Structure 1
Amino acid sequence: MTKKRTLAIMAAGLGSRFGSLKQLYAINNNNNSIMDYSIFDAISAGFNSIVIIVSSQTLSVFQERYLGKLPQNISLEFVVQHSPELILKYPKRQKPYGTGHALLKLKNHIEGNFALINADDFYGRATFKLMYTNLFNAPGQKNYCIGYKLKNTLSKNGYVSRGECFLDTENNLRDIIERTHIYQKDKALYYKVESNTEIKISEDTIVSMNFWGFTPKIFDIAENEFIAFLENHGNDNTKEFYITTIVNTCTNNTSQYFKVLLTDSQWFGITYNEDALEVKNAIRTLTKNTIYPEQLW
């Protein structure tokens, strides 16, 4: 039996853009989305199992789009990020619990090591190859994070938020801190803190774009952290349970650590409406250069 090499995709967000789900927004004439290109790149890199985390409201939409569409040798599964027991226990909570909860929902659906990404981020084929090689072929049992240079993750149309990665001399992750409101001014980059103070940040700063590689041990740590989150914020709609909370617990309080895999790849996504045209142009160029076929499937 072929061993599963799984890529999980977080696609449960309900926010819409241009009248449709952002995760499925078409960026070429064949109605392909950024998520389609990520799946294509993952399969090209060697992944043979795709797990898509969806909401109960959008499950049928994703099933209609992907069932019977991928190559026959690729396993496909949908996981619904919905917990009826939590709704009963915390009735004041209306919004989803966040990316950390999405990760935890994979617990009974994953065999062995696995990668996890956002549905609406374009990561670049080289990053999927980099993750696959390390996650499944490198010795030992490690967790991984793809580390991008900040300058390769910006939008020309407004500020962004990024997780700044702090590394040791062997590129192990020591801390990750969310930097909000990163923007360019006078050919330099800055971010703002709560006091509205501007702090300069290097364009070569290493940031996480939520491309992770995990061992199954991550689930026990995630479960403990989620229990603590619910005790403090179960009914609070302003708080989210982030993957970075779980990761920082690993790096600070456990023997589980993360190796940061550095890449020069260009990330892109649709943070603002105006980004859509740039994404389409980038895909058109990659297709013209035969990096991608005109029709993915």
Structure 2
Amino acid sequence: MGKPTLLVLAAGMASRYGSLKQVDGFGPHGETIIDYSIYDAIKAGFGKVVFIIRKEFEDVMRSKFDEKLAGKIEVDYAFQDFDLTKFGVDRVIERSKPWGTAHAVMSAKDKVNEPFCVINADDFYGTDSFEKMAKFLTSEVSDAHMSLMGFEVGKTMSDYGYVSRGVCEVSAAGNMDSVTERTNIYYKGEGTDHKIVYNENDIEYDLDPKTRVSMNFWGFTPKVFDVCLNLFPSFVEENADNPKAEFFIPSIPDYMVKHEMADFKVIPTSSKWFGVTYPEDKPIVQDSISKLISEGAYPEKLF
């Protein structure tokens, strides 16, 4: 197989963060979190990066990435917008934001023809994740066998508010039985009562800290685009009057598993994920990156 592609979800508006965190600086020379992901991806053997963005972000993103990545990795852009006709929807639906992460992935369908990895722009995943995913995408992946990185939910939390995670059920063989997007996971209690819970329909449920979750770090083939295009029109019709409805990535693998179209290997990692959801997360991320640099995991200046 040839080199895989890295698909970076960078179209979000970061409402809880308060600014465009995709291009915010966290490293000692203003490096973004995306910079560290791309650095790891290049080392792991990825051949191209495609940024999925809103059209109005294009100039800012190009000024941040085009020049410094020239000659290091191929760079391209795809745009997530409100034009649904290209996805088989023949009417206009008024919304304040696009239709979610799987809608974003579909926006890159004309840019990717090889196995690819999907990540969030504002999540720091670490070298181990990219090395394991690159190996999978170059030696193991097929239309019937795809993957996700499985993080322990207890190593992905924020101390400052709720988070969204794709909660996985994992088989004895290490494959995903199901994945459910939980959009309201948070810490509750103090001391010995301190625990992780998620809220659904105003009911709280406990969540084991070692539960494997998806951090939107998926290993796909272009077959996924076909499945998305098949499911999206009916999703839109069913949710046309719900401005908060989102077509999430985990619903696609979940559908494929339940309909025996593919299995998804859960690639385990004990790495501690970190990212920025709230402004208070920024100094924690900066300190974490500084520590990794001091340990020799990254050079002080990436590019």
* Equivalent-residue separation in structure 2 for 1:158 and 1:34 (angstroms): 20
Residue type matched to 1:277 in 2?
Answer: P
Determine the structure 1 residue equivalent to 2:43. 44
Is 1:181 equivalent to 2:220 in the alignment? no
TM, length-normalised to structure 1: 0.92
Tell me if the contact between 2:175 and 2:265 (Cα under 8 Å) persists in the aligned partners. yes
Letter in 1 for 2:259: N
Corresponding residue SS for 1:51? strand
Q: Contact (CA 8 Å) 2:3, 2:138: kept in 1 or not? A: no
C-alpha contact 2:93 2:240 (8 A) present in aligned 1: no
CA distance in 2, matches of 1:166, 1:294: 39
Instruction: Kindly state the Cα deviation for residue 228 of structure 1 after the two structures are TM-superposed.
Output: 1.2
Tell me what 1:75 maps to: 74
Encode CA deviations 1:89-111: one digit per residue, 9 max, x unaligned: 22422311110111111211112
Letter in 2 for 1:78: Y
| Corresponding residue number in structure 2 for 1:171 | 174
Offset, 1:199: 2.4
Per the alignment, do residues 195 and 62 of structure 1 end up closer, same or farther by CA in structure 2, a change over 3 Å counting?
closer
The answer to whether the 8 A contact 1:190-1:198 is kept is: no
Q: Secondary structure at the residue paired with 1:69?
A: helix
Q: Structure 1 residues 90 and 139 mapped into 2: Cα distance closer, same or farther (>3 Å)?
A: closer
Partners of 2:181 and 2:254 lie apart in 1 by 12
- Aligned mates of 1:175, 1:19 — CA distance in 2: 33
Give the aligned partner of residue 290 of structure 2: 284
Is 1:62 aligned to residue 61 of structure 2? yes
8 Å Cα contact 2:23/2:32 also seen in 1: yes
Question: 1:181–1:17: structure 2 CA closer, same or farther, 3 Å change rule?
Answer: closer
1:157 aligns with 2:156: no
Q: Any conservation in 1 of the 2:49–2:75 contact (CA below 8 Å)?
A: yes
CA contact (8 A) 1:92 1:236 kept: no
The 1-side partners of 2:198 and 2:290 are apart by 35
CA RMSD of aligned residues (A): 2.1
Report which stretch shifted further, 154-163 or 25-34: 154-163
Q: Is the 8 A contact 1:7 1:115 kept in 2?
A: yes
1:144 maps to 147
Counterpart in 2 of 1:110?
112
Give, in whole Å, the separation in 2 of the partners of 1:85 and 1:202: 39
User: Deviations for 1:201-230, whole angstroms, at most 9, x for unmatched residues?
Assistant: 211111111000001111111111111112
Deviation at 1:161, TM superposition (A): 2.8
1:219/1:139 Cα in 2 relative to 1: closer, same or farther (>3 Å)? closer
Distance across 2 between alignment mates of 1:239 and 1:268 = 26
Match of 2:278 in 1: 272
Give TM-score, length-normalised by structure 2: 0.91
d(CA) in 2 for partners of 1:40 and 1:192? 34
1:90 paired to 2:92: yes
Q: Gaps spanning 5+ residues in structure 2: where?
A: none
TM-fit CA distance, 1:59 = 1.1
